[in-house]
Amino acid sequence: MIQIQDLKKAYNGTVVLNIPNLTINKGESFGLVGNNGAGKTTLFSLLLDLIEPSTGHVEINGIQVNKSEDWKPLTAAFLDESFLIGYLTAEEYFYFIGELRGQNKASVNELLAKHTDFFNDEILGKKKYLRDLSKGNQKKVGIIATLIGNPDVIILDEPFANLDPTTQFRLKKIIKDLAEDKTKTILVSSHDLAHTTEVSNRIVAMHKGQVVKDLYTSAETLEELEAFFAV
């Protein structure tokens, strides 16, 4: 589903990402972990054609992302609040994304109704602009918006940050339920090793822009990752 080949990103001669080859298979729940500066967000930005690679390329479903836009209907992502439109209410934003993805209001409302617990009665019907919501509630809006239109690839950068424990638990259930659909590929980056291990069937650890571990999740994975990052 996702193929990375000879991918490198450098700024002013400093290489911040260098991945010779990485394949993320269709149906995988893929976790990405690493310290600040490891290259996680850079990798996601390259996957989404938000920045140009210095060398190499990314393909989604056989489509090179910086050469064609045909991958976009297959893919949804939320990296940070810049993906939102601050002067819209949550409902307006959801309907706007729905229009982009060919969904009518009824379809969007049906999806929103499935996630009322996740919103915790803090977002819908409040007539608040997105810019006036807390960071956590902005994140909730962004995450659920990625589900509109039933995309094949879902990319979430640090989705657990700024969420309270109850909402983190609910988010883990959403990701696990998505992962049961083996037609979907889910990519999650996080500093939280436990959360990532719990929702991922494969985890890649990055350090200084390079892949240093590539593990299929087992009972020992969390302990192995903790030992690696404790050094």
Per-residue pLDDT of the chain (231 residues; tens, 9 = 90+): 899 999 999 999 899 999 999 999 999 999 999 999 899 999 999 999 999 999 999 999 999 999 999 999 999 999 999 999 999 999 999 999 999 999 999 999 999 999 999 999 999 999 999 999 999 999 999 999 999 999 999 999 999 999 999 999 999 999 999 999 888 999 999 999 999 999 999 999 999 999 999 999 999 999 999 998 987
Q: What is the dihedral of CA 11, 202, 226, 176, to 10 degrees?
A: 110
pLDDT of residue 39: 94
- Is the separation of the CB atoms in 76 and 155 below 8 Å? yes
d(CA 222, CA 97): 36
- 74: helix, coil or strand? helix
Yes or no: say if 89 and 56 are a contact pair by the CB < 8 Å rule. no
Residue range 123-150, pLDDT digits in tens: 999 999 999 999 999 999 999 999 999 9
Report domain extents, the chain. Answer: 2-83+147-230
Name the nearest CA neighbour of 152 among 76, 68, 53, 67: 76
What CATH code is assigned to 2-83+147-230? Answer: 3.40.50.300
